[in-house]
Amino acid sequence: MTDKSLISITDFSREEILRIMELAAEFERDSSQQTLQGKIVASLFFEPSTRTRLSFESAANRLGASVIGFSEPGNTSVTKGESFHDTIMTVANYSDIIVMRTNLEGAPRYASEISRVPIVNAGDGANQHPTQTLLDLYSILKTQNRLDGISIMLVGDLKYGRTVHSLIQALAEFGARFTLVAPRELELPQEYKDFLHERGLTFVETTEIGQEIGNVDIVYMTRVQRERFSDTMEYERVKNVYVLRNEMLAGTRPNLRILHPLPRVNEIAVDVDSNPKAYYFEQTENGVYVRMAIMSYLLGLK
């Protein structure tokens, strides 16, 4: 029973994370609970994001809430030069909870300080995307029947990938073992390595997927983007190294599952899709249950 905001994954304790997992499972068993009947969810997408917005709006509708908002800032008061502050103060008077995606980093934190209704961060620039992390955790829990002591391989852009950073922070609470696979230019920032060291967690760094894939429970793929490279020659050299193909899954653990925050471009070959170990589409379905759980929890209705 709470009335708080979710801005950064570190805002939630281990107990709160587990509570969200429990609630998500409850909504998965019965997705027609009208927990938010009569409530209004404001969905403010200052930066477009089709997948996240639809997932939130689907969750709100399933809970019986009405949704107001915008999917991009064009044709709104924002383009007339209204401050972010004034937009939030106004929308807080029209709604019971605000879901927002911004390109400016820290904007949801600021909103949570001035708004009288809870704020859910649906992604702020390269900073945080906590609802993605919670749905990643739920997908891990569902496929492995546990969160403690998972062996996970994170592949691709570990430098700029915010989903990777938040997932590492969250899984550290559960004593995970990490294998970090990235090109030198995109390796995990030092602050996150320090974070793991401080908690006494082991991690292996490598530049190729290699044999280690046989020793993990989860492979978390991310996209290696051309624009992240200062040296385009380097990009050409590595772009195919971080592609997961079906034949690489031979001999892997039976409980292995492949996760990806999506959208995918070419980092998972389409021949993986039909492998039962591919889990990225189920992962998006889990997103709806997790967001139902988050909104109900933040409003103190569950």
30 versus 198: smaller Cβ distance to another protein: 198
Catalytic entry in 53, 129, 257, 260: 129
Tell me, yes or no, if 129 is annotated catalytic. Answer: yes
For residues 300 and 181, give the distance between their C-alpha atoms in angstroms, rounded to a whole number.
40
Tell me, yes or no, if 52 is annotated catalytic. Answer: yes
Q: x/- site string to another protein, residues 4 to 23, per CB under 8 A?
A: ----x---------------
Burial of 198 (0-12, 13-18, 19+ CB in 10 A): exposed
Closest-CA residue to 214 (of 148, 151, 299) = 151
- What residues between 30 and 89 interact with another protein by CB under 8 A? 83-85
Residue type, 86: D
Q: At what angle do helices 130-144 and 280-298 cross, to 10 degrees?
A: 120
Tell me, yes or no, if 165 is annotated catalytic. Answer: no
Tell me, yes or no, if 51 is annotated catalytic. Answer: yes
Contact 299, 40 (CB under 8 A): no
Catalytic entry in 29, 80, 116, 226: 80
Q: Residue 230: helix, strand or coil by DSSP?
A: coil
103 versus 240: smaller Cβ distance to another protein: 103
- Find the shortest distance in angstroms from Cβ 137 to another protein: 20
Catalytic entry in 53, 62, 101, 302: 101
Peptide bond just before 263 cis, omega within 30 deg: yes
- Find the shortest distance in angstroms from Cβ 110 to another protein: 5
**Strand 257-259 to strand 177-181: parallel, antiparallel, or no bridges (unpaired)?**
unpaired
Contact 99, 41 (CB under 8 A): yes
- Find the shortest distance in angstroms from Cβ 126 to another protein: 8
Task: Count the residues of the shown chain that bind another protein, applying the rule CB under 8 A.
Answer: 20
3 versus 86: smaller Cβ distance to another protein: 86
Query: 98 Cβ partners below 8 Å, 6+ apart?
Result: 41, 42, 44, 88, 91, 92, 111, 115, 117, 118, 119, 120
Contact call for residue 197 and another protein (CB under 8 A): no
Q: How far apart are the first and last CA of the chain?
A: 7
Q: x/- site string to another protein, residues 92 to 131, per CB under 8 A?
A: ----------xxxxxx-xx-------------xxxxx---
- Find the shortest distance in angstroms from Cβ 120 to another protein: 16
By CB under 8 A, name the binding residues for another protein. Answer: 8, 83-85, 102-107, 109-110, 124-128, 190-191, 194
Q: Catalytic residue positions?
A: 51-52, 80, 101, 129
